[in-house]
Amino acid sequence: MELSDLSAHELALYLRQRRISAVEILESCLKRIEAVDGRPGRLDGGPLTVEDEQKVHSFITLTPERARAQAEAVDRKIAAGEDPGPLAGVPFTVKDIFCVEGTPSTAASRILANFTAPYTATPVARMEAAGAVMLGKVNLDEFTYGSSNESSAFQPSPRNPWKLDRVPGGSSGGSTASVAAGEAPLSIGTDTAGSIRQPAAFCGVVGMKPTYGRVSRYGLIAFASSLDCPGPVARNVTDAALMMNTIAGADPHDSTAANVPVPDYLAALEQGIKGLRIGLSPDYFRITYPNLQNGTFETQPLPAEIEASVRRAADLLAAMGAEIVEGVPMPNTRFGIPAYFVISRVEAASNLHRFDGVKYGYRTPEPMNDLRAMYRQSRGQGFGAQPKLRILMGMYVSAAQYSEQYYNRALRVRTLIRQDFDRAFDPQGPYRLNALLTPTTPTTAFKMAALYGDSVLMQYADQLTVPANHAGVPGVSLPAGLDGEGLPIGIQLLGPDYREDVLLRIGRAYEEATETDPWRRVRPQALL
């Protein structure tokens, strides 16, 4: 086993014990990247070669010099007997939707390809302050708009390390692919409708969407500001907890970052789950989607393997002392995607207004005499298809004559979804849940190019994750075995506001219960 395959908490421990150095850890990760990542995504990346198809392509920008300087600083601190921080020497990757001072911060879009951030996002700054070593910026769907990573303007886009002809999921696909492939033990992603949890499920890693406001959004290039949550991607629950300890908490730069005390997520991790009430909902064992031919809604059960993983997890947790509550109604789950379609696009269109070619980013090279023409050309050439679709729809549904029937209605639906969770978690209510256990995704990782271009169907990959974003509640996706094709299956835990600690505790218990499962020893294809 190489250092790059160790977990973050093991690396941090060995480093403190002076058994390894930060530079050794870094070199191991860089070696892994060299071996499996292939060429980084770039604009006009050209046709895929056969070799490209065998690589992971997590990165847009690798920053080895910066990383080496940080690793050396950690080693010096340790040599000097100073406290190097709880994440000292632990490498991590950053979804390229976060600004990091002095590095290209592209949002995987042509319009920001030449943008170098003059400041660092709060969660990244906290990671670095804790001694973690940033390896670089990893790929994503353009502006996070997607569930497969294929919409990145920087190609080749990431591939699923478990099966390289599959998508890693999205939009934090570069994050989950880099962690699954052992390029880094940790990554920081963002989740607006499932963008951490869905790719975590597809790549067989742990991905947490914290409570809205638990982690500062300062420096996160916004998609839908009322839904965006930065969060950790890790290979196990303990590492996710360790990372939450570092990134969570109030921030003077973000007034929506909650001023709620942050517990020590590691402290409670091993306390067990005796007496916790964990719910199962029939509304999470099916997906509902529109039939575009006749406008009706159709319901489909989930693949048997996925439902079975969730039921097995429930049995294991019950055996460890949890109380399983069946039949929890979450009736508004099926409206999550339509409401999301409206709310996220209104906010996205507005958030994209600033990319006008005036101050930074892409401006059309053609000389323009007219301001409007410059806007049109710059935005027309700079944005890819996904931002354009979101702008069109966002502008449409927020127009004065439509906003009541679309936007305001979607906001009311959002309240209804929140009420589903309130009822399920109400300590005086009929269900009194500590957590809801669900599948993370309706399918395992789909083939590259299988869905891309069908933005409606693509969006339904998020049906089981998006309700948590509407409601603001925390969720975590845990690896829960492999399907018949050897692709990871993810299960999801959803909890009440600010109870990430409980979700992590249940996740840790599940890890213990499945420690000896054979699938835990299977390595992804990219590492074979």
Partner 1 sequence: MTMTEYEAVIGLETHIQLNTQTKIFCSCKADSWNDAPNSNICPVCCGLPGVLPVLNKAAVEKGVLLATAMHGQIRPLSFFDRKNYFYPDLPKGYQISQFDQSLSSGGYLDLPVPASASPDGQAYVRRVSITKLHLEEDAGKTKNAGGQRFVDFNRCGVPLVEMVTGPDLRTADEAAQYLTRLRQLLRWLGISEADMERGNLRCDANVSIRRKGETHLNPKTEIKNVNSIENVRAAIEHEIERQIREVEAGNRIFAWTLEWDEDAAVLRKMRSKETEADYRYFREPDLLPIRLDDAWKTAILAGFPELPLERRARFIREYGLPEYDAEILTAERKLSDYFEAAVRAYGGDPKRVSNWLMNDILRMLNDRGLTADQIKLAPAWLAELLKLIDSGTINISTGKSLLQKVEESGLSPAALVEKEGLAKVSDDTAIRAVAQEVLAENPKEVEAFKGGKDTLMGWFVGQVMRKMRGKADPNIARQMLEELLK
Residue 8 C-beta-side C-alpha neighbours within 13 Å: 36
Q: CB of residue 257 vs partner 1: minimum separation in angstroms?
A: 9
How far apart CA 236 and CA 343 sit, in angstroms, is 33
Contact 64, 71 (CB under 8 A): no
Kindly name the residue from 21, 195, 309, 455 that is annotated as catalytic: 195
Token pair 């499996």 in the structure block, residue = 36
Q: Which two tokens stand for residue 189?
A: 């992603």
| Closer of 6 and 349 to partner 1 (Cβ) | 349
Beta strands across the sheet bearing 206-209: 59-62, 133-138, 91-95, 186-191, 229-234, 206-209, 475-482, 488-494, 435-439, 277-279, 323-325
| Closer of 117 and 445 to partner 1 (Cβ) | 117
- For the packed helices 8-16 and 237-247, what is the interaxial angle rounded to 10 degrees? 70
Kindly name the residue from 28, 171, 178, 477 that is annotated as catalytic: 171
Q: CB of residue 391 vs partner 1: minimum separation in angstroms?
A: 11
| Closer of 61 and 440 to partner 1 (Cβ) | 61
| Closer of 225 and 514 to partner 1 (Cβ) | 225
CA nearest 134: which of 190, 94, 180?
Answer: 94
Residue 451 C-beta-side C-alpha neighbours within 13 Å: 21
Contact 147, 459 (CB under 8 A): yes
Q: CB of residue 354 vs partner 1: minimum separation in angstroms?
A: 5
Q: Is 163 in the active site?
A: no
| Closer of 391 and 504 to partner 1 (Cβ) | 391
Report which DSSP code applies to 251. B
Q: Which two tokens stand for residue 341?
A: 């379609």
Q: CB of residue 395 vs partner 1: minimum separation in angstroms?
A: 7
Contact 108, 154 (CB under 8 A): yes
Q: Which two tokens stand for residue 369?
A: 């005499």
CA nearest 247: which of 434, 86, 106?
Answer: 86
Q: Is 171 in the active site?
A: yes
How far apart CA 153 and CA 142 sit, in angstroms, is 6
* Cβ neighbour number for residue 408 with a 10 Å cutoff: 13
Contact 478, 428 (CB under 8 A): no
* Cβ neighbour number for residue 422 with a 10 Å cutoff: 15
The residues binding partner 1 (CB under 8 A) are: 98-99, 105, 107, 112, 115, 117-119, 121, 217-222, 224-226, 252-256, 346-347, 349-350, 352-356, 358-360, 371, 375, 395, 398-400, 403, 407
Q: CB of residue 307 vs partner 1: minimum separation in angstroms?
A: 35
Q: Which residues contact 294 (CB under 8 A, 6 or more apart)?
A: none
How far apart CA 522 and CA 528 sit, in angstroms, is 10
Q: CB of residue 139 vs partner 1: minimum separation in angstroms?
A: 17
| Closer of 169 and 382 to partner 1 (Cβ) | 382
Q: CB of residue 117 vs partner 1: minimum separation in angstroms?
A: 7
Alpha-carbon dihedral of residues 344, 204, 96, 157, nearest 10 degrees? -90
Q: CB of residue 470 vs partner 1: minimum separation in angstroms?
A: 13
| Closer of 239 and 347 to partner 1 (Cβ) | 347
Residue 191 C-beta-side C-alpha neighbours within 13 Å: 38
Task: Report the DSSP beta bridge partners of residue 439.
Answer: 491
Q: CB of residue 250 vs partner 1: minimum separation in angstroms?
A: 12
H or E stretch including 158?
none
Q: Which two tokens stand for residue 157?
A: 């886009």
Contact 99, 172 (CB under 8 A): no
| Closer of 63 and 438 to partner 1 (Cβ) | 63
Q: CB of residue 112 vs partner 1: minimum separation in angstroms?
A: 7
| Closer of 23 and 395 to partner 1 (Cβ) | 395
| Closer of 7 and 226 to partner 1 (Cβ) | 226
Q: Is 281 in the active site?
A: no
How far apart CA 217 and CA 98 sit, in angstroms, is 9
Q: What is the DSSP string of 30-74?
A: HHHHHHHT-SPPBTT--PPPTTGGGS---EEEE-HHHHHHHHHHH
**3-state class of 191 per DSSP?**
strand
How far apart CA 301 and CA 195 sit, in angstroms, is 23
Active site residues: 95, 171, 195
